[in-house]
């Protein structure tokens, strides 16, 4: 791996170097970042070897119910049973949330080389050993109609038949895949730690084209107006055509990990020394609107845009709400631990019965695992788990 030239980004670079080496050696990653998602209009938090569902209104654990609608109880203690899954051994690590596989069955990618089957209604591991895989997983599995696309962190992309999880095809990379592939029509766009962005036929697994971007790529591309946008460890943000031509690039101060966020033809991104960027997408180029040194340490998650604010969370323990026009910090909140997981913005819907939009922030500390803030950041957390 190339020698680092960043000055103030030394600690962030050391972190990423360690993680990149882990991807090559297959050693367990510890501590883990988690994942936040929605399942049945409840919050599903995945961290280490634990998954738990929480009520989005107050952060309380979700109870299990029997077919008659009665709360299930533990026969020994007579206490309510919660929707909670614990991995079978210390090597189990769920970096990503499970996804719906078939009716009441979830499939969870585990770092220890397997897919774990879960009965959703009973919060029960169906098969303890899981379905074996030829590599570790730190990125989401992409479910499609007939296939599941499984990125392996040390090497390849697998396509598994959805009905029986047999292998349909395998696409090789040299350094592994740390991000969910992007499926557009019949083409998968796959980023790799080997510096390449690949276009792959989603049915056959055949390579259509590859593009060397000069640095490892740990995030998924985003599609906007017929072009791909991506950041990487070469300290660049790119606009790339769907046939693999670089249309524009912009140099950042340090490595970019998170997927860019695009709202109203403006791209927002952050780097691993705490800068946040706003770039206007102007024809085939980028126009810098502002760049702010926001955080004291790395910003790994993608930024979130909510109304007139840009939200970024850092390894320096803070979540920042920035003025969308200027990038200046309006307010920040201390979550008392490093933030590595992507943020989740929840807005009230018919099924999601919350009073206001919420921003969910997951940290790397079990005693401060999840915070729910009002999306505008103008108050202390609405709730926290654990309490």
Using CB atoms within 10 A of its CB, is residue 121 exposed (0-12), middle (13-18) or buried (19+)? middle
- In tens, the pLDDT along 292-332 reads 999 999 999 999 999 999 999 999 999 999 999 999 999 99
pLDDT at 308: 97
- Residue 261: beta bridge partners? 268
Contact 289, 22 (CB under 8 A): no
The reported pTM is: 0.91
Sign, CA torsion 21/196/145/341 = positive
At residue 234, the 3 state secondary structure works out as: coil
Q: Is the pLDDT of residue 27 over 60?
A: no
The distance in angstroms from the start CA to the end CA of the chain is 42
Give per-residue pLDDT as tens, 147-156. Answer: 999 999 999 9
Task: Report how far residue 66's alpha carbon sits from residue 48's, in angstroms, rounded to the nearest whole number.
Answer: 28
Please, what's the largest Cα pairwise distance for the chain? 66
The answer to whether residues 382 and 374 touch, using CB atoms and an 8 Å cutoff, is: yes
Q: How far apart are CA 46 and CA 42, in angstroms?
A: 13
Whole-number Å distance between alpha carbons of 136 and 23: 8
Over the stretch 203-253, which tens digit does the pLDDT of each residue have? 999 999 999 999 999 999 999 999 999 999 999 999 999 999 999 999 999
Instruction: Give the contacts of 206 (CB within 8 A, at least 6 positions apart).
Output: 200
pLDDT band for position 17 (50/70/90)? very low
**Rounded to the nearest 5°, which phi and psi values hold at 277?**
-125, 145
pLDDT at 24: 40
52-102, pLDDT tens digit by residue?
A: 999 999 999 999 988 888 899 888 888 899 999 987 766 678 888 999 988
Are the beta carbons of 349 and 308 closer than 8 angstroms?
no
- Averaged pLDDT, 181-205: 98
């Amino acid at each position: 791996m190339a020698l680092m030239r960043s000055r103030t980004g030394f600690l962030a670079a050391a972190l990423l170097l360690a993680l990149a080496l882990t991807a090559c050696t297959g050693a367990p990653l510890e501590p883990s970042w988690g994942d936040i998602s929605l399942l049945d209009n409840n919050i599903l938090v995945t961290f280490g070897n634990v998954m738990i569902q929480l009520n989005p209104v107050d952060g309380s654990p979700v109870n299990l119910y029997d077919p008659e609608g009665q709360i299930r109880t533990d026969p020994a203690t007579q206490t309510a049973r919660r929707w909670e899954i614990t991995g079978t051994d210390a090597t189990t690590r769920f970096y990503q949330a499970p996804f719906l596989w078939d009716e009441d069955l979830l499939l969870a990618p585990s770092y220890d080389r397997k897919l774990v089957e879960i009965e959703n209604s009973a919060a029960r591991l169906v098969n303890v050993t899981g379905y074996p895989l030829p590599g570790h997983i730190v990125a989401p599995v992409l479910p499609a109609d007939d296939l599941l696309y499984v990125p392996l962190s040390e090497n390849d992309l697998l396509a598994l038949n959805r009905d029986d999880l047999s292998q349909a095809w395998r696409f090789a990379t040299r350094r592994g895949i740390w991000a969910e592939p992007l499926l557009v029509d019949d083409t998968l766009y796959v980023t790799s730690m080997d510096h390449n962005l690949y276009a792959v036929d989603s049915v056959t697994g055949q390579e259509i084209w590859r593009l060397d971007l000069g640095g490892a790529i740990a995030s998924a591309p985003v599609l906007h107006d017929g072009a791909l946008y991506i950041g990487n460890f070469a300290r660049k943000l790119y606009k790339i055509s769907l046939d693999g031509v670089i249309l524009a690039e912009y140099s950042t101060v340090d490595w970019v990990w998170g997927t860019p966020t695009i709202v109203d033809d403006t791209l927002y991104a952050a780097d691993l020394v705490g800068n946040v960027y706003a770039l206007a997408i102007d024809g085939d180029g980028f126009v810098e609107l502002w760049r702010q040194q926001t955080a004291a340490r790395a910003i790994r998650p993608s930024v979130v845009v909510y109304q007139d604010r840009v939200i970024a969370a850092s390894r320096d323990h803070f979540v920042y709400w920035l003025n969308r026009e200027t990038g200046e910090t309006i307010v920040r909140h201390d979550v008392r631990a490093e933030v590595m997981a992507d943020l989740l913005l929840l807005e009230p819907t018919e099924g999601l019965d919350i009073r206001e939009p919420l921003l969910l922030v997951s940290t790397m500390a079990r005693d401060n695992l999840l915070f729910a803030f009002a999306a505008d950041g103008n108050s202390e957390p609405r709730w926290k788990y654990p309490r």
